[in-house]
Amino acid sequence: MKTFYSPVHLDHDPEVQFEGGQLLPAVEIPVRAEKVRVALQARHIGPIVPPTAFADDTILAVHDAGLVTFLTEAWEAWTKRYGKNAGVAIPSSWPSHDMHADRLGWRRKADIEARLGSYASSTDTPIARGTWAAVREAVNVVLSAAAALKDGEKSVFALTRPPGHHASADVFGGFCYLNNAAIAAAWLVQAGLKPAILDVDYHHGNGTQSIFYQRSDVFFCSLHADPNFAYPHYIGFADERGEGDGEGFNLNLPLPLGTDWARYDEALKFAIGAIKHIGPDVVIVSLGLDTYFEDPIAGMKLKADDYLKMGARLADLHKPVLFVFEGGYCFDALGELAANVLESFQGAA
């Protein structure tokens, strides 16, 4: 299995995240992807290859042009306001429900603080000097993998960082800036294929759902911790089935705190059955590995061997699969978990 990877992700190295009034060590940091890359090489999963460049219109097929422009300009505007040693750009306020929506466009053209609050959903997604370079290169990584799948590869892995599934059309947050999986899906649609997205991250892929919620050309299914107690809290419930043309093309399978492999596998089998019923040409798996029992910001109980079972179960899709790296923050285990999924998928496919 080819893995598409770029060292440009190292440019995005946020020093802190802000939570509950405190500055904490960041968890979405370069070591995540590096641990995975090293493990894949050690396990001989397949060649690690660089991406090729894709045009910006591939991003604009999914994301609002204002968000993209903001992300390209944010660091320069932040340092112009606060100086080169100001630290990472983090929003301090947001427009609330009692503020007039017709003023939002004005805010997005205004001060950097107002623009941050207009586009960011949370304080956990800081913008640093190299953030945009890494975010933009992640798009090249995932689209290079999608192109390889279109050209006949049976399975590929996009080792994307930063992750993407919490980024919606015009909002970034949850460690995510642009939605890599959604961009790949839209590109595959333009290439004449019918993709489905299966999100197995601990957290609901709220951005991906939002992007495709009114569309019937991409089926989205997410297994995740129940938003009654887990981020992103306000979306990801079982009754969200899509709207308009997208009705019936969105499936959420929220799971209880402490879910183990037996419970998880039931949901995964159901998800695979639903995807087979839709009959896609290709499947994009948003591969979050924060379902691991020692993940510091999650609450499920999957063990390392369970990811071997997960890979074998995903082979039941019997479709070409593009794996896209999402969450997972137990650094010591992350490489093994990713390698387990990919290796067992290859062995069972």
* pLDDT mean across residues, the chain: 94
Burial class for 24, CB neighbours closer than 10 Å (0-12, 13-18, 19+): exposed
Q: Within 13 Å, how many C-alpha atoms sit on residue 218's CB side?
A: 26
DSSP 8-state assignment for residue 218:
S
Cα 252 to Cα 209: distance, rounded to the nearest angstrom: 9
Q: Report pLDDT digits (tens) over 69-106.
A: 999 999 999 999 999 888 889 988 887 777 665 555 65
Same domain, 55 and 71: no
Q: How many domains, in total, are found in the chain?
A: 2
Does the pLDDT at position 23 exceed 80? no
Tell me which residue of 309, 316, 306 sits closest to 349, measured CA to CA. Answer: 316
Domain C-terminal end among 97, 119, 141: 119
Residues comprising the chain, all counted: 349
Any domain includes 125: no
Pairing of strands 195-199, 155-158: unpaired
What crossing angle do the helices spanning 112-119 and 65-82 adopt, rounded to 10°? 140
Q: Which domain holds residue 274?
A: 2-63+130-348
Q: Report pLDDT digits (tens) over 235-255.
A: 999 999 999 999 999 999 999
Neighbours of 235 (CB within 10 A): 17
The pTM assigned to this predicted structure is 0.95
Same domain, 304 and 161: yes
Any domain includes 104: yes
Q: Report pLDDT digits (tens) over 132-169.
A: 999 999 999 999 999 999 999 999 999 999 999 999 99
Same domain, 50 and 171: yes
User: Chain centroid to CA 267: how far?
Assistant: 20
Same domain, 244 and 215: yes
Any domain includes 100: yes
Higher-pLDDT residue of 1 and 95 is 1
Domain C-terminal end among 79, 94, 119: 119
Higher-pLDDT residue of 238 and 123 is 238
Mean pLDDT of 313-331: 98
Neighbours of 122 (CB within 10 A): 20
Residue 166 falls in the annotated catalytic set: yes
Q: Which residue has the tokens 């379902």?
A: 291
Domain C-terminal end among 119, 153, 186: 119
Same domain, 165 and 207: yes
Same domain, 242 and 98: no
Same domain, 105 and 212: no
Structure tokens at 4: 């598409």
Q: Which residue has the tokens 């001989």?
A: 44
Same domain, 203 and 72: no
Structure tokens at 252: 């959420």
CA dihedral 305, 308, 310, 313 (to 10 degrees): -130
- CATH number of the domain that residue 58 is part of: 3.40.800.20
SS3 18: strand
Kindly name the residue from 12, 165, 166, 224 that is annotated as catalytic: 166
Same domain, 114 and 227: no
pLDDT at 94: 82
Contact 5, 50 (CB under 8 A): yes
Cα 316 to Cα 128: distance, rounded to the nearest angstrom: 41
Mean pLDDT of 114-130: 92
% pLDDT > 70, the chain = 94
